[in-house]
Structure 1
Amino acid sequence: MNWKDKVIAITGATTGIGKATRDLLTGQGARVYNLDITKPGDDDTRGEFIPCDVRKVQDIKDAYSAIIEKETKIDMLFANAGIHLFATMEQTSDEELDNLININIKGTFYSVREVLPYMKAQKKGSIVLMGSDQTFVGKGSSSVYGMTKGATGQLTKSTAIDYAPFNIRVNCICPGTINTPLLDRAVTHFASTNGVEEAGVFESLDSVQPWGRIGQPQEIAAVVAFLLSDENSFMTGSLVSADGGYVCQ
């Protein structure tokens, strides 16, 4: 696919899967905008950074307006921003509950809702939401995180139905356990809460994957790029696993 005339917004693209996707698509010539609360380092100049907190709908509106003012269109959105938490219900504080819902559910909802008028006016668009293997299955010590990713799956399917008449595709990438700063923070929290060594947690994460290891951000970015692309012309409302075989067990 020729990416050189494509304008793409990615939320949370300073690190992890968002960054890997930004790097991949800018390398293909796309014009990528990173909507994140954290600015990339001075040596990271791929794409254009727009400060944005997805918990604040006005931030998202302002970011999209800035993109439209410069580019006149937004072809694609990867609603990637999210946080993780290893915790049972009793271990989850009210503050953690609110933050997970505000970022993973409301932030995703706002990011998609506010781009739809632009895509409807263009009569075309492609959107990918960040799901999880927990969009399909439950895991221990992940009650609230899993709840947010189950919600993301349903949001994907309903939105795909509603906006198919406008030639807007909506799909959901559902990674397994991926080697990102998000995972590092979650493992640190889990190890601290449960009094175990972080190295042991990482070993257990590797051991439960049929592929024998956790994934890398670049592996997920490649799937996201396909889901966003015009080559993916007949997929919408799909929840796409990229998890080393975890959910097929």
Structure 2
Amino acid sequence: MDRGLKGKAALVSGASKGIGRAIVQRLVAEGMQVLGIARGGCDVPGAIGFALDLRDPAAPEAAVGHAVRDFGRLDLVVNSAGATQRGDFLALTDEAWADSYAGKFFAAVRLTRAAWPHLKAAQGSVVHIAGAGGKIASADFTIGGSVNAALMNLTKALADRGVQDGVRVNCINPGSIRTDRLTGRIRTAMQEQGLDEAGAAAFLAKSTGVARFGEPEEIAATVAFLASAEAGYIQGAILDVDGGWIRAV
């Protein structure tokens, strides 16, 4: 299916692995020019990789400048960077909170702000990758949950601005997606429950009430849809791609 993305330009953060890498791969396959940024760079064939630590307040401006110089335009920004720290609330330090907010929330704020004039010129769009934890609170995910909730609120606020400027802003909440981070949780469950890998994966999936874990490519496909003209009337949406984990209205 031709989504009308060929020749357009995208900037994707968190592009070195997992969901971010899958997004870069999908957008390249759609014919987009893609700059993938991450602390370790991005080695997806067909994309330009740029090593940047978005916790540095100056990095987002540098990333946008790089994209515009290379492509001459910018049509899409995907904020997929930032792993937040898990742990008991009483054990999490101020440094852990500050680092998690800097790497995910403030990185998204700064990258979107730097890109906005170019997105306005191109009548482009922004997609935030937040997470189901922003809607489902848990004691060991206080940082991640609050960061994801903040990204959802930011989505609505920027969509309000986007109506005026012609920039669409939407958010995806992935559920349990089979990434390196989830693989670590599966290994922990194997040890704690005495299960093999398949059994531990099934145990974890059942504990969240879903039939299976999602794949990074499924999130990437949703990004491609939201960036396309087919989604032209979707503005300020919070889209749960979680296998049915979130059941609240």
TM-score, reference length from structure 2: 0.89
Rounded to whole Å, the distance in 2 between the matches of 1:133 and 1:117 is: 30
Does the 8 Å contact 1:209/1:244 carry over to 2? no
Distance between the aligned counterparts of 1:163 and 1:40, measured in 2? 29
SS state at 2:246 partner: helix
| 1:37 alignment partner, one of 36, 39, 58 | 39
Q: Match of 2:127? A: 128
Please list the CA deviations of residues 99-129 of structure 1 after superposition, one character each: whole Å capped at 9, or x if unmatched.
1111121111111111112222x15111000
Alignment partners' CA distance in 1, 2:201 and 2:92:
22
Question: What corresponds to 1:22 in structure 2?
Answer: 24
For 1:134, the aligned partner's letter is G
> Residue 72 of structure 1 aligns to which amino acid in structure 2?
G
Task: Note if contact 1:17-1:180 (Cα within 8 Å) is conserved in structure 2.
Answer: yes
Shift of 1:182: 3.2
**Contact 1:83 1:182 (8 Å CA) reproduced:** no
Partner Cα separation in structure 1 for residue 47 and residue 74 of structure 2: 14
Work out whether residues 28 and 46 of structure 2, in 8 Å CA contact, stay in contact via their aligned partners in 1. yes
Q: Secondary structure at the match of 1:50?
A: strand
Paired residues of 2:78 and 2:127 also in contact (CA < 8 A): yes
Tell me the number of residue pairs that the alignment of Structure 1 and Structure 2 aligns: 242
Tell me, yes or no, if the aligned pair for 1:209 and 1:245 is still in contact at 8 Å: no
**Structure 1 spans left out of the alignment, 5+ residues:** none
**Inter-partner Cα distance in structure 1 for 2:215 and 2:179:** 8
Structure-2 change in CA distance of 1:49 and 1:40 (3 Å): closer
Partner of 1:218: 217
- Rounded to whole Å, the distance in 2 between the matches of 1:202 and 1:145 is 22
1:112-123 matches, cutoff 5 A = 112-120=112-120, 122=121
1:246 and 2:245 matched: yes
Residues 122-177 of structure 1 show CA distances to partners (whole Å, capped at 9, x for unaligned) of 15111000111122221231111101001000000001001211110000000101
Name the SS of the counterpart of 2:151 in structure 1: helix
Counterpart for residue 51 of structure 2? 51
Distance 2:8 2:151 in 1: 25
Between 1:195-204 and 1:25-34, the stretch displaced more is 195-204
Change (3 A) 1:123 1:45: closer
Matches within 5 A, 1:128-147: 128-147=127-146
User: Under a length normalisation based on structure 1, what TM-score does the superposition of the two structures give?
Assistant: 0.89
- CA separation of 1:209 and 1:46: change in aligned 2, threshold 3 A: farther
RMSD, matched Cα: 2.3
- Read off the aligned partner of 2:7 and give its amino acid letter: D
Unaligned runs of 5+ in 2: none
The offset of 1:196, in angstroms, is: 4.1
Classify 1:110/1:71 alpha carbon distance in 2 versus 1 (closer, same or farther; 3 Å): same
What corresponds to 1:111 in structure 2?
111
State the Cα deviation string for residues 192-226 of structure 1 (Å, max 9, x = none).
9xx94696874542113443221110111111111
Q: Percent identity?
A: 25
Is the Cα–Cα contact under 8 Å of residues 89 and 139 in structure 2 kept in the other structure?
no
Tell me if structure 1 keeps the 8 A contact 2:41–2:52: no
Instruction: Tell me, in whole angstroms, the C-alpha distance in 2 between the residues paired with 1:229 and 1:130.
Output: 17
Kept after mapping to 2: 8 A contact 1:156/1:237: yes
Contact between 2:133 and 2:145, CA under 8 Å: does it hold in 1? yes
> Secondary structure at 1:21's aligned position in 2?
helix
2:230 alignment partner, SS class:
coil
How many Å separate the matches in 1 of 2:111 and 2:209? Answer: 34
Farther off after superposition, 235-244 or 98-107: 98-107
